[in-house]
Amino acid sequence: MFYKIDLQKQKGASVTEILVVTPLVMLLGMIGIQYAFMYNAKTNVTYASYEAARAGAINNADPQAIEDGLLKGLLPLLSTNLRSEGIKADTTNHLIASAQSKLALEKLKLDEARFMKIEIISPNEAAFNACNNAQLQKI
């Protein structure tokens, strides 16, 4: 049994399918890219908070050290703003790269620090006072 297919009825069917499917596939692709950007930003903020916690632990919960650690962690997210300001990364000379990173950190302190609020949640001052010992103060 052979069926005869009328090719005139099938003409243009694939164009219609492409017109329907292409925007949906593009939308799903753009949503996937946006989720990747959001995950990258979340990872950078998590890393910055770890840097801030590490700086606070090393420097006896000094708020300025915590702020510096947070800004150092956020530097990859904010580096595009620094490039537009004329601060370029030079990896050929270690001293120049170190000076440029310090300059970038100071620029971030001026621009972004006023939008940050650092609050030490735990341990609070009462916990420090509860563990206060005269013998430990001598060390």
Determine the distance from the C-alpha atom of residue 2 to the mean position of all C-alpha atoms in its chain, rounded to a whole number. Answer: 63
**Is 107 within 8 Å of 87 (Cβ atoms)?**
yes
Residue at 7 is within a domain:
no
What confidence score (pLDDT) does residue 96 get? Answer: 72
Say if residues 112 and 78 touch (Cβ distance below 8 Å). Answer: yes
Residue range 15-61, pLDDT digits in tens:
888 999 999 999 999 999 999 999 999 999 999 999 999 999 899 88
How many folded domains does the chain comprise? 1
pLDDT at 26: 98
Residue 38 belongs to a domain: yes
> Is pLDDT of 69 > 60?
yes
Evaluate whether residue 130 is within a structural domain.
Answer: no
**Separation between Cα atoms, residue 137 and residue 54, nearest integer Å:** 23
Task: Answer yes or no: is 12 within a domain.
Answer: no
Asked whether residue 32 is domain-assigned, the answer is: yes
pLDDT at residue 33 in the model: 98
Q: What is the pLDDT of residues 112-131, one digit of tens each?
A: 778 888 888 877 778 777 77
pLDDT value at position 86? Answer: 58
Residue 2 falls within a domain, yes or no? no
Whether 126 is covered by a domain: the verdict is no
Q: Is residue 6 part of a domain?
A: no
The domain of 89 spans 26-119
